[in-house]
């Protein structure tokens, strides 16, 4: 049999299941670092996305008999939860879930059809409507059983300027629930790489842009001890690695062609550098992803147009 009859095991459920498994190291770190708050917020995020997707799909009458279980709702819920501040109140979480699931995902076609990544768009909405929820971060391992903040919304802003490099690498800089431990993110990345369920073009363009662009925008301080500390903290603990792997590695909302995907990653990196220090940390992380999502179809179109030059129609279709 020839190419039209070749099938692959990497269908949508397989891809989402591997992404779900790749998120588990970050989930483990979040629970280890933030305890009961992480358990409650992550459980609420996953359950909320699942139920909201199911109810919305039924109301819109999109559900088809025999359709596979939508694992993407679990992936969206976990990604959303890991991008939350440990002190986010449950009311803000529920609002974000409803916006990300119903408005962003279901009204735009459901799994595989939405133009925006539900988790990052939901986080941006939550941060815009409830900005105080992301006004400060708890210190990891500070109080494993504390949960009052997710009800009251009270936040703190500890100082992490004296963290050592081993502490930064281990994820003990105050940050969002599950994004600060680069070791856990890299474990998930390697797993998806082995399984062949991540396109590395956009993440690579993004990280290379950040690695090269951040020093250029901090020339006056980058060669000092304080500047180098800031650089390491930004790359390893701000969440940019998490965004590169779990947000820019998304199959649905990021350009599929190598040239357009690399361009998307570069644009996302440039926007992140521009926003750094000018907006809140979570806005700096997710708003460039949302902007690139809007650009994806345009980038893919121009990439296809470039590919057509000097190629026959059949060759272009195979790209």
- According to the model, what pLDDT value does residue 297 have? 76
The C-alpha atoms of residue 272 and residue 270 are separated, in whole angstroms, by 5
Q: Is the CA virtual torsion 98, 99, 100, 101 positive or negative? A: positive
Quick check: 115 and 108 in contact, CB under 8 A? Answer: yes
CB atoms within 10 A of CB 224: 11
Q: Which two structure tokens, joined as six digits, stand for 294?
A: 């809007």
> SS in 3 state form for 63-119?
CCCCCCCCCHHHHHHHHHHHCCCCCCCHHHHHHHHHHHHHHHHHHHCCCCCCCCCHH
DSSP 138: P
pLDDT at 29: 93
What pLDDT, on a 0 to 100 scale, did the predictor assign at position 218?
85
Distance between CA atoms of residues 178 and 86, nearest Å = 9
Q: Which residues contact 163 (CB under 8 A, 6 or more apart)?
A: 172, 173, 233
CA distance 57 to 179: 30
Per-residue pLDDT of the chain (319 residues; tens, 9 = 90+): 444 444 445 677 788 899 999 999 999 999 998 889 899 999 999 999 999 888 887 777 655 444 445 688 899 999 999 999 888 889 999 999 999 988 888 776 666 667 889 999 999 999 999 887 776 667 777 776 665 555 544 455 555 666 777 877 878 776 788 898 999 999 999 999 999 999 999 999 999 999 999 998 888 788 888 888 889 889 998 899 999 999 998 888 888 888 899 999 999 999 999 999 898 889 999 999 999 998 887 777 666 654 444 454 333 344 4
- Nearest of 63, 110, 79, 124 to residue 248 by alpha carbon: 79
| Residue 194 neighbours by CB under 8 Å, 6+ apart | none
Domains of the chain (ranges, CATH numbers): 7-317 (1.10.3430)
Predicted local confidence at residue 28, as pLDDT? 95
> DSSP code of 174?
S
For residue 63, what pLDDT is reported?
55
pTM, two decimals, is 0.85
């Amino acid at each position: 049999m020839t190419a039209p009859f070749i099938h692959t095991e990497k269908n949508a459920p397989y891809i989402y299941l591997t992404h779900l498994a790749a998120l588990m190291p970050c989930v483990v770190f979040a629970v280890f670092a933030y305890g009961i708050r992480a358990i409650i917020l992550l459980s609420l995020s996953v359950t909320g996305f699942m139920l909201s997707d199911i109810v919305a799909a039924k109301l819109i009458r999109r559900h088809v008999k025999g359709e596979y279980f939508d694992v993407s709702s679990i992936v969206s819920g976990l990604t959303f939860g890991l991008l939350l501040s440990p002190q986010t109140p449950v009311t803000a979480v529920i609002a974000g879930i409803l916006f990300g699931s119903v408005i962003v995902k279901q009204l735009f076609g459901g799994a595989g059809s939405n133009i925006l990544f539900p988790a990052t768009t939901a986080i941006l909405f939550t941060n815009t409507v409830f900005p105080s929820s992301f006004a400060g971060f708890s210190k990891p391992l500070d109080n494993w059983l504390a949960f009052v903040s997710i009800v009251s919304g009270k936040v703190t802003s500890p100082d992490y300027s004296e963290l050592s490099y081993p502490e930064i690498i281990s994820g003990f800089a105050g940050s969002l629930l599950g994004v600060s431990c680069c070791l856990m993110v890299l474990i998930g990345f390697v797993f998806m790489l082995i399984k062949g369920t991540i396109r590395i073009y956009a993440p690579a363009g993004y990280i290379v842009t950040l690695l090269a662009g951040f020093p250029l925008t901090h020339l006056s301080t980058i060669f000092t001890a304080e500047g180098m500390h800031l650089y390491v903290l930004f790359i390893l603990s701000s969440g940019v690695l998490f965004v590169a792997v779990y947000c820019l590695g998304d199959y649905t909302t990021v350009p599929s062609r190598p040239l357009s995907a690399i361009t998307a990653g570069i644009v996302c990196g440039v926007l992140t550098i521009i926003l750094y220090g000018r907006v809140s940390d979570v806005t700096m992380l997710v708003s460039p992803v949302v902007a690139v999502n809007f650009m994806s179809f345009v980038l893919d179109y121009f990439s296809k147009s470039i590919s057509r030059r000097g190629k026959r129609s059949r060759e272009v279709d195979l790209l």
